[in-house]
Amino acid sequence: MKYTILVNEGPYQHQAADSAIQFVRAALEKGHEIFRVFFYHDGVNNGTRLTVPPADDRLIQKAWTELAEKHGLDLVICIAAAQRRGIMDADEAKRQGLDANNIAPGFRISGLGQLVEGGIQADRLVVFGD
Amino acid sequence: MSMLHIVNKSPFERVAFASCLAHANAGDSILMIEDAVVGAVDGSSFSDKVKAAMSDKTVYVLGADLAARGLEGKAMEGIVSVDYAGFVDLTANNDTTQSWL
Amino acid sequence: MSTKNFLFVNRKAPYGTVYALESLEVVLISAAFEQNVSLAFIDDGVYQITKGQNSKGIGMKNFSPTFRALGDYDITKLYVSTESLAERGLTVDDLMELTYEDADDDYAEKPSIILVNREEMAAMMAEQEVILSF
């Protein structure tokens, strides 16, 4: 079965990202396809490579990046939500005249249409949020 | 057409769980995850509502979330405990999913 | 691209959190994909469409007029929970008058708000294929 996953909350503040990662791992193990993971609202904060949690805490952003690298996941960050919250890739930072970018490997920034398309293309859409 | 309702909020803090129960149709499935698993415990002010829902719907709880909150083995009779693989199966076996955030 | 029944479930009040505003942004985008879109307003979601919203004093943009534009995007089914209104001491008169022009009926102006009770809301939800909640 083909899934689109929507993550509405940032890492560490809510359990939503943790639940989504566990769900995605289990779905992949069962042989399902993850068509796309879309990050919206504070969920865009999953995609910053600048998080440095304490040594004994889990690495949420790295878990996403590893899933993307291992399974070719399409991790899409909503551009409008990202701009509000300071999540930038190199192109966008340059376009906005900013001095840095922070997007993590495996993530890309795109429009909300990618979420709607994900809903249309996938057999199931599962939402994780608060 | 069957639906999987996913609830993640404690019924003692927010109305999402109660709203979910009020809108779920007969034959639907309800899965408690995250903070919603506290609603699985018997003898609470909310447990009668869950029991009423079980008359024509199937109610599940994510075992890992229950265990994390010190509530393993405390789910009321009739609630089915699942792991993340079981969570995936529930989404696949129902036509749609709705998260009551 | 195929057409699916999309439902956006709104259960949160505006301004206190960004969910209502950013949900509306997805609704507008979905119109471009020509999907069969419905909106549900349940619990505190009914506060999103009250009339007379004035957000000047809190320094935030009043985005409620955007709901009036939905009809122009062919989004014409806004299901509002009668129980949720009653529980909050509200009636339909407290809501904005949201309408659309029916192209199949000589562009007659028709109400977009559909008042439904829980059973009717549940039956409408059972018809959906993609349910987005924020």
C134: Cβ contacts below 8 Å, ≥ 6 apart: A8, A40, A41, A127, A129, B101, C8, C10, C12, C19, C20, C22, C23, C26
B92: Cβ contacts below 8 Å, ≥ 6 apart: A1, A32, A124
A93: Cβ contacts below 8 Å, ≥ 6 apart: A99, A100, A101
User: Any bridge partners for residue B48, and if so which?
Assistant: none
Side chain identity at B17, as an amino acid letter?
A: F
Answer yes or no: are the C-beta atoms of A73 and A37 closer than 8 Å. yes
Q: How far apart are CA C119 and CA C115, in angstroms?
A: 12
The Cα diameter of chain B in Å comes to: 35
Residue C114 in tokens: 């559909």
Cβ–Cβ pairs < 8 A, chains A and B: 48
Taking CB atoms and an 8 Å cutoff, what residues of chain C touch B101? 11, 133-134
What pLDDT does residue C2 have? 86
Structural domain span for residue B23:
3-100
Q: How far apart are CA A114 and CA C131, in angstroms?
A: 16
Chains with ≥3 CB–CB distances under 8 Å to A: B, C
B88–A contact, CB cutoff 8 A:
yes
B96–A contact, CB cutoff 8 A:
yes
Q: Which of C75, C91, C72 is CA-nearest to residue C40?
A: C75
Q: How far apart are CA A91 and CA A88, in angstroms?
A: 8
Catalytic annotation, pick one of A78, A87, A88, A109: A78
A77: Cβ contacts below 8 Å, ≥ 6 apart: A39, A44, A46, A47, A87, A103, A107, A108, A109, A110
**Chain B: residue nearest C128 by CA?**
B96
B3 and C126: CB-CB below 8 Å?
Answer: yes
Q: Which of B16, B24, B98 is opposite residue C131, by nearest beta carbon?
A: B98
DSSP C47: G
Structural domain span for residue C58:
5-133
Q: How far apart are CA A72 and CA C28, in angstroms?
A: 30
b/e burial code for range C45-62 (CB count within 10 A of at least 16 → b): bbbbbeeeeeeeeeeeee
What pLDDT does residue B1 have? 79
Q: How many domains does the structure of chain B reveal? A: 1
| Mutate which: C25, C29, C128, vs A, most A CBs within 10 A | C29
Q: How far apart are CA A93 and CA A86, in angstroms?
A: 9
Answer yes or no: are the C-beta atoms of B3 and C129 closer than 8 Å. no
C65: Cβ contacts below 8 Å, ≥ 6 apart: none
- Region C10-38: mean pLDDT is 96
Q: How many domains does the structure of chain A reveal? A: 1
pLDDT tens track for B8-63? 999 999 999 999 999 999 999 999 999 999 999 999 999 999 999 999 999 999 99
Answer yes or no: are the C-beta atoms of C45 and C15 closer than 8 Å. no
Which CATH number fits the domain that encloses residue B74?
Answer: 3.40.1260.10
> For chain A, which ranges sit under pLDDT 50?
none
Ramachandran assignment for C75, one of left (phi > 0), alpha (psi -120 to 50 degrees), beta (any other): beta
C123–B contact, CB cutoff 8 A:
yes
Q: How far apart are CA A40 and CA C75, in angstroms?
A: 22
Which CATH number fits the domain that encloses residue A21?
Answer: 3.40.1260.10
For C50-104, what is the HEC assignment? ECCCCCHHHCCCCCCHHHHHHHHHCCCCEEEEHHHHHHCCCCHHHECCCEEEEHH
Residue B28 in tokens: 């639907």
For A92, phi then psi, to 5°, come to -65, -40
ipTM above threshold 0.95:
yes
A85–B contact, CB cutoff 8 A:
no
C1: pLDDT strictly greater than 80: no
Side chain identity at A60, as an amino acid letter?
A: I
